[in-house]
Amino acid sequence: MIRLLALLVSVLALSACQSPNSLRVEPESLLSSSNENISFKLSDSSSVDSIEGWISDDKPTSAVLSCLRRDSLCADVSDLLSQNGVSAVINGTSEEVSSVELIYDRVTARQCNMGLLGCSVSVNSVQMVTDRLQFVKPVLSGRQSAAKSVEDYNNYYGK
């Protein structure tokens, strides 16, 4: 009778268990990435002002200018983008009206169910990275920023 009861309890306990891999949370599963493109027509100086206002509110990842280099509006927008640290590519165009396309690459971190294995470690791993674009577009052989490393170190230790 005791053996039968022990066997029944064992079967019930094992049937309630799930695979450990189905409960595991990896840092990659907490990330969502999206791309957004915003276009502006360059018709007069007010369009440069609207682009400046847009950039001051939300800095884009990069920009594509479809205009001629000798066009004064194109030069103004190119200067504006470089002053704000936005990389821009100028594509020549045969159209009369020039345009600017601001490109936003966004990476966001989602919350996870804290009852899952590895959730706190995954959340901490994701939250420690300040530039989340490194998850989807890592700079593997780019120049390393010593100043940024020192800043991160000082922020971590509260200096």
64 found inside a domain: yes
Q: What distances in angstroms separate CA 81 from CA 17, 122, 134, one per listed residue? A: 56, 35, 22
148 found inside a domain: no
123 found inside a domain: yes
pLDDT over 60 at 19, yes or no: no
Q: With beta carbons less than 8 A apart as the criterion, state whether 135 and 111 touch.
A: no
Give the chain's mean pLDDT. Answer: 79
How many domains is the chain partitioned into structurally?
1
Q: Which residues span the domain enclosing 89?
A: 22-135
Q: Where are the beta strands (DSSP E) in the chain?
A: 31-42, 62-66, 87-91, 98-109
157 found inside a domain: no
pLDDT at 157: 82
130 found inside a domain: yes
pLDDT at 76: 92
pLDDT at 22: 54
- Where residue 40 sits, what CATH number does that domain have? 3.30.1330
CA distance 2 to 6: 6
Instruction: Compute CA 82 distance to the chain's CA centroid, rounded to the nearest angstrom.
Output: 21
pLDDT over 60 at 17, yes or no: no
Residue with more model confidence, 20 or 57: 57
pLDDT at 36: 93
96 found inside a domain: yes
154 found inside a domain: no
47 found inside a domain: yes
pLDDT tens for 78-108 read 999 999 989 999 887 777 778 999 999 888 7
Residue with tokens 């200096």: 159
The DSSP line for 70-94 is: T-HHHHHHHHHHHHTT-EEEEE---
The pLDDT confidence band at residue 7, using thresholds 50, 70 and 90, is: low
pLDDT at 23: 62
